Amino acid sequence: MKYVSVPKELPISEIQSNESCFAPGRYVHFIPPKILSGSHFAPLDKLILLRDSRVVTRKDKLYRYAEIGDIEVNTGGIVFREMLGYRLPTNRPSVAKYGDVLLSTVRTYRKGIGYVSEVADNLVTSNAVMNICGVTDFAPELSLLYVYSFLRTDFFVEQVWSMLNRGLYPRMDKGALDKIFIPIPSDRRVIRYVSALIEAIVEKEKTIRDKSSSVNSLIDSELRSHQKSIQFQFRLPLISEVSSVGRLDSAIYAERYKSNIWLIHNYANGFETPRTAGFSITPGPSLEIKILHTRIDSDTWRKGYYLLITPTNISEYGTISREQFLGTAKPLPELRKGDIIFGESGSHRSIVFLGSPYNSPITTNAHGLYARRFDNNVPKSIFFRCIYDWLYKNQVIDLLAVGGSGGHFSPAYFEALPIPKFPSDKQSEIVRLYHNPAPPPPDKPTLETFFNWHRRWNTDLGIWELDREMKVLQKVLLKVQDQIIEGKTINLPF
């Protein structure tokens, strides 16, 4: 571990308090640096306020509910799902408000910590979530955003791990808050800068979710408002239909599948298949060691390594959720700008590759399929990916897939996916939401305007660019946080 370790010496009292156990793992904890010029450390329980209010639900009332699985571990975004009171897993859920920090008591070690960026009066959560609603006056200029930024770090997670006896399932309880330390810099402007950085990151993550939702809403609206006069009528399949399709599994003959795909089949402007639209579908390479002979995996870029885009590293918004690199002497098929990567099994998420900050080749694995156009028409690729994502979110992909564990979606099934022939202006509107490299605002940001400067830029950026800029801010934040932990002087960029 980077931040916690076993102390070189222990008082007898501490050994006795641990039942005279001499196992080193029982004494692993964070040891602050002895020379600190710019920071001190405070226990978390002295810094935060907890919201401990619950609501008695009404069966007929609509709530927006989140549980531990709705906290995105890679970004801290929280997706609240609309749910009637009678469907909630508890009749006394916890109350959440805009600006709260939700800390999963059972997924803390996986960074199950998120920020509530939604404004609504019906937000509720699972009781397995600790709700942090504010900060004390323990430190001047301290904000909940500042504390949240450190709860999202390995510095916090390692401290949680260090409190656990080996073999126990990790949990984070209120009684452990006094054993977690957060660094507080003496320079108040640094606290404000960290708060501004994490606030801008939160806003970009929320804008990504909002624009992804807008893409699907535009597709849905265009399809439903331009239907032919023929009404959908569900009929059981005829033998001739089963023979022509060549599949006996019942899912693709069910009403749910047929009613969703009917919206494209019955679209007034018609549709085409991926092949007629100019796409070819290719499986990714196998990366088994018996084939590669040499393989080195890395979380950081190294010269000559491949950037590996696998289905597990694709977010539901069509971005790269985790960067992974692969070193091998064996040449691998390389992806190029405009290629669409699809998840062949398990998660059927998708992404259009639009560039990388690393000077390295790009590839995927055998669980990924990629679609390529030989005319390099990137907007057409983005539009197809958006239609595929709409089909995925409407369960068409899952129903077409076969087998267990989420099903397998082989290249042969792509011809069953209709691509509606939207007008050019509607396609462009959808494409811009995903990919739009807009220039930044002309004025330079200051500490006071940092958040609003980024919010203005967010308005024009596409999902891909928002994710790119969010990752830039995350790297800057991580560097500043390490400097705070080490007690170093931080030079602000303003």
Mean pLDDT by 10 residues, the chain (494 residues): 67 72 64 67 94 92 94 92 94 95 83 93 93 94 96 89 61 80 93 97 97 97 96 90 82 90 96 96 94 93 94 94 94 96 88 91 94 95 97 91 75 93 98 97 96 97 97 96 90 90
Sketch out the chain's domains with CATH numbers. 45-186 (3.90.220.20), 227-266+270-294+339-351+367-421 (no CATH)
pLDDT at 268: 97
Helix 450-460 crosses helix 188-225 at what angle (to 10 degrees)?
20
pLDDT at 29: 64
pLDDT at 49: 96
Q: Are 104 and 71 in contact (CB under 8 A)?
A: yes
Nearest residue to 328 via CA among 300, 370, 282, 288: 288
At residue 88's C-alpha, the angle toward residues 108 and 126, to 5°, is 20
pLDDT at 32: 65
pLDDT at 405: 58
pLDDT at 407: 74
How far is the C-alpha of 462 from the C-alpha of 207, rounded, in Å? 9
CB atoms within 10 A of CB 352: 24
pLDDT at 158: 84
How far is the C-alpha of 233 from the C-alpha of 306, rounded, in Å? 50
- Please state the separation of Cα 349 from the chain's center in Å: 12
pLDDT at 173: 76
